[in-house]
Amino acid sequence: MLKRAERVRMYSISLEDARVRELISWYIRTLQKAIDTIWDNITWKYDIKNYKRRRHAKVKVPVIPKSSKFKRELRNELMKDNPYARHWVDAVIRTAYSIMDSWRKRYVKGKAKKCKPRIRRR
């Protein structure tokens, strides 16, 4: 069995550089835009939850659109304002879906409100 040695080179970039600041600002704006688009296309369905002692409750559960057609349309929409490489838009979409999935889990458990997630940190 052959062993290959790989070199990993890393270097630091100062965050004071205007290009890095511009990239981060664009990323945050695009991420919020992706979350807004996903939020506008959520469908709500009723589900009956079973609790202890045979109690039942009718709860509205969000269904996040995950079809490839919707993701393609979202990607095309975000690519219109993209001055950077395409993989940045793909990263935005993955992050937006991750945020929406974690919000959905928290909402179903009753720990999150029925309001759209906002990006607060840079």
Decide if 64 contacts 78 (C-beta within 8 A): no
Cite the DSSP H helix spans in 1-122.
Answer: 18-40, 68-79, 86-109
Give the count of domains, the chain. Answer: 1
Q: Comparing 48 with 70, which gets the higher pLDDT?
A: 70
43 occurs within a structural domain: yes
84 occurs within a structural domain: yes
Region 31-53 average pLDDT? 90
4 occurs within a structural domain: no
117 occurs within a structural domain: no
What is the predicted pLDDT for the residue at 1?
A: 62
Residue 115 contacts by C-beta under 8 Å, 6 or more apart in sequence?
none
What is the predicted pLDDT for the residue at 78?
A: 96
79 occurs within a structural domain: yes
What share of the chain has pLDDT > 90, as a percent? Answer: 63
What is the predicted pLDDT for the residue at 48?
A: 83
Residue 97 and residue 103: Cα distance in Å, rounded? Answer: 10
75 occurs within a structural domain: yes
88 occurs within a structural domain: yes
What is the predicted pLDDT for the residue at 18?
A: 84
Above 90 in pLDDT, residue 55? Answer: no
What is the predicted pLDDT for the residue at 58?
A: 82
Decide if 26 contacts 84 (C-beta within 8 A): yes
Longest dimension (CA), the chain: 62
6 occurs within a structural domain: no
Domain of 46 in residue numbering reads as 18-109
Amino acid at 111: K
Region 35-39 average pLDDT? 97
Helices 18-40 and 86-109, packing angle to 10 deg: 50
